[in-house]
A and B are shown apart, each in its own frame.
Chain A
């Protein structure tokens, strides 16, 4: 993975205008604030949807709560965009950061969960009558989603505590490097 990480580093470093903005006095804090607002939109909306899948507010058809999902998608899009600006300014701090690795893993797992839900359960769930219990698979999907997005928040918070240092010469590098490689 080391060579992929080095490639990521050089590709992400090429977005000069973004980095220039981010390095102004308020650029980085402003983008962090945007990132938090996106996460609030994403987590709040998806929590309501997941809790509905888990059986809360059963009187309302699942299909109605599904209308909240676009807000979660909006929050997610805001965070992909704002998150990318961090990557483009200080790529090493993320590419070699184990907390960031796990955060992206949980985002990927959340995405796979979404895919599985839409491929296998959505049609059945969206035609449920009000008051009908959601199928077991939908409950698992909702619970998994809550767990994954909570883990994304926790890992995101831990990023600053797992900042990578330069790799010490001669040190053993694992499959995914968690120290800054020299090209």
Chain B
């Protein structure tokens, strides 16, 4: 149903460049940026979650606050690089249910992060609720990371013109 949209998007100059450029600054570096952003947003969030769960307990939780901008940097790096990747291969991503699972897990992880900030940065003692949230956050980021990796193994259509491979 969305094939005309996919065909149009894949015919745009940027999309063609993403797929066909042999420059290292196209697909490879954008993928690398996506990985670095993942390291920042999911990695630092994971460190915060592990702290809430009691590891590295000598760091006051509130001292993770200055690192929020670094996490947002990671998130924005991934939104931008993610959009670029999506414009390059819209059919491949948008016809793959695993892609929607990935985005959902990221959305849930970000909502949890907001809920955690409300509690963890104001409380002295980590409540049971915030510990459950921290566990859920770890699960969501691990799930999003795995879903992202599995995209390359689960897609059915490479582009709008290609024969389905699965």
Which positions in A face B, CB cutoff 8 Å? 26, 29, 32-33, 36-37, 39-45, 47-48, 51, 56-57, 59-60, 63-65, 67-68, 70-71, 150, 153-154, 156-158, 161
- By beta carbon, the residue of chain A nearest B145 is A36
**Segment among B2-10, B29-37, B107-115, B119-127 that sits at the interface with chain A:** B29-37
Is there an interface contact between B70 and A47, defined as CB atoms closer than 8 Å? yes
Per the CB 8 Å criterion, the residue count for chain B at the interface is 37
B70 & A153 in contact (Cβ 8 Å cutoff) = no
The answer on a CB contact under 8 Å between B153 and A29 is yes
Q: A45 to B152: give the CA distance in the assembly, Å.
A: 27
In this complex, what residue of A is CB-closest to B45? A44
Q: List the interface of chain B (C-beta within 8 A of A).
A: 24, 28-29, 31-32, 35-36, 38-40, 42-47, 50, 55-60, 63-64, 66-67, 70, 141-142, 145-146, 148-150, 152-153
Inter-subunit contact A40/B32 (CB<8 Å): no
Q: Which of B24, B28, B145, B153 contacts A40 (CB 8 A)?
A: B145
Chain A interface, DSSP helix/strand/loop, else mixed = helix
A39 CB contact (under 8 Å) in B35, B47, B55, B63: B35
Given contacts A60-B59, A68-B59, contact A43 B150 (CB under 8 A): no
- In the assembled complex, the Cα of A33 lies from the Cα of B64 at a distance in Å of 27
Q: What residues of chain A lie closer than 8 Å to B63, measured between beta carbons?
A: 57, 59-60, 64
- B46 interface neighbour in A36, A41, A67, A157, Cβ under 8 Å: A41
